Amino acid sequence: MCEKILVVQTAFLGDCVLTLPLVNALNRAGSKVDVVCKKGLEDIFNSCRGVSETIIFDKKTSDRGIRGIIRISSALKKRNYSSAFLPQRSFRSGLLTYLAGIKKRTGFTRGGSKFFLTEKVPFDWNRHEVERQLELARSAGFEVFPAEFNLKPDTEKVREWREKLHGPGKLVGIAPQSNWQTKKWPPENFKKIVREFSKENTAVILGSAREEWEGRNIINLTGETSVKDLIAACSLLDVLVSNDCGVMHIASAVGTGVAVIYGATVPELGFTPWGEHVVIQNGRLGCRPCSLHGPRKCPRKHFKCMTEISPENVIRAAGGLLEKNGKR
């Protein structure tokens, strides 16, 4: 009889992608792995072969507050999980698994979940988030390397987007949005990137909020893609130029090269895209990082961490990836 394991990850899009290697490490041992995730992000885990089932925790609306936690934990209790893994480090995740009666609960020594854990693993800021999460599995006796994402685009979606994403040259993805204001490179810089690459290639603009983009050889997908669409579209790109946001993690997980721009946050925190074909552009100011996610406004009111990163350097970095690792 295989072990039934629960992984709780109800954070943002990028966090969900970075949890996939943990899920796959647990699944490789023959375990049945279910995942609790936030509503709207279930297709990240539904697109991973290592996940048996996703359980949606709509913590912002219908499952908000203690009543929602009790409802979800009661449903989880009926499933009789032997163990739970909590990469997110939140108090709510820890409480959820505790109330679900899961006897073995593994997570990090850092964060609110530590109060509910039976097995605690040191949280190391000097390692990548993928490595940190895999350490949870290693501590429980699982074989963890190589790290595998197994993020598989839907076949029909790939066929659909292949028909839509046609144009001259190669497909250069552009992801100019972010949930955090100080993670956004100035829009005029992204416009320079698009103008440069759309001369001989096709620029594909990605983002959850609708934006207006005009010009030749530009395909504007902002506000039009579901998570499942995004996975398929990213798998067809030759390269992606991106702010520090969830799209860059999807792209790297499906094998697309990524040129990522860091401002208020720093790569050393361990949340960069995982993989060999990643080039990072970031400032060198001593005031970085402002915080884990980056504040809403620059605390020093100059925003030099972003404005001092030149479009020319980003174009050169992305062009190098395009030349070496383009898919077409």
Q: Is the pLDDT of residue 194 over 90?
A: yes
Q: Is the pLDDT of residue 111 over 80?
A: yes
**Average pLDDT of the residues in 40-44:** 97
User: Among 134-138, 245-249, 323-327, whose mean pLDDT is lowest?
Assistant: 323-327
3-class DSSP string for the chain? CCCEEEEEECCCHHHHHHHHHHHHHHHHCCCEEEEEEECCCHHHHHCECCCCEEEEECCCCCCCHHHHHHHHHHHHHCCCCCEEEECCCCHHHHHHHHHCCCCEEEEECCCHHHHHCCEEECCCCCCCHHHHHHHHHHHCCCCCCCCCCCECCCHHHHHHHHHHCCCCCCEEEEECCCCCHHHCCCHHHHHHHHHHHCCCCEEEECCCCCCCCCCCCEEECCCCCCHHHHHHHHHHCCEEEEECCHHHHHHHHCCCEEEEEECCCCHHHCCCCCCCCEEEEECCCCCCCCCCCCCCCCCCCCCHHHHCCCHHHHHHHHHHHHHHHCCC
User: Among 48-52, 56-60, 74-78, 287-291, whose mean pLDDT is lowest?
Assistant: 287-291
Query: Which pLDDT value is given to residue 180?
Result: 87
Query: Which pLDDT value is given to residue 316?
Result: 95
- Between 267 and 85, the more confident residue is 85
**Average pLDDT of the residues in 59-70:** 85
pLDDT band, residue 8 (cuts 50/70/90): very high
List the structure tokens of 328.
């077409």
**Average pLDDT of the residues in 59-77:** 89
Kindly report the average pLDDT of the chain as a whole number. Answer: 94
Query: Which pLDDT value is given to residue 72?
Result: 95
- Sketch out the chain's domains with CATH numbers: 4-139 (3.40.50.2000), 155-325 (3.40.50.2000)
pLDDT tens string 209-242: 999 998 999 999 999 999 999 999 999 999 999 9
Task: Give the separation between CA 293 and CA 96, rounded to whole angstroms.
Answer: 24
Q: Tell me the percentage of the chain whose pLDDT exceeds 70.
A: 99
pLDDT tens string 119-177: 999 999 999 999 999 999 999 999 998 999 999 999 999 999 999 998 999 999 999 99
Q: Is the pLDDT of residue 196 over 90?
A: yes
Pairing mode, if any, of strands 53-57 and 32-38?
parallel
pLDDT band, residue 1 (cuts 50/70/90): very low
Query: Which pLDDT value is given to residue 328?
Result: 62
**Average pLDDT of the residues in 4-12:** 97
**Average pLDDT of the residues in 288-311:** 86
4-9 β-sheet, strand order = 53-57, 32-38, 4-9, 83-86, 104-108, 119-121
pLDDT band, residue 116 (cuts 50/70/90): very high
Q: Is the pLDDT of residue 102 over 70?
A: yes
User: Among 52-56, 71-75, 289-293, whose mean pLDDT is lowest?
Assistant: 289-293
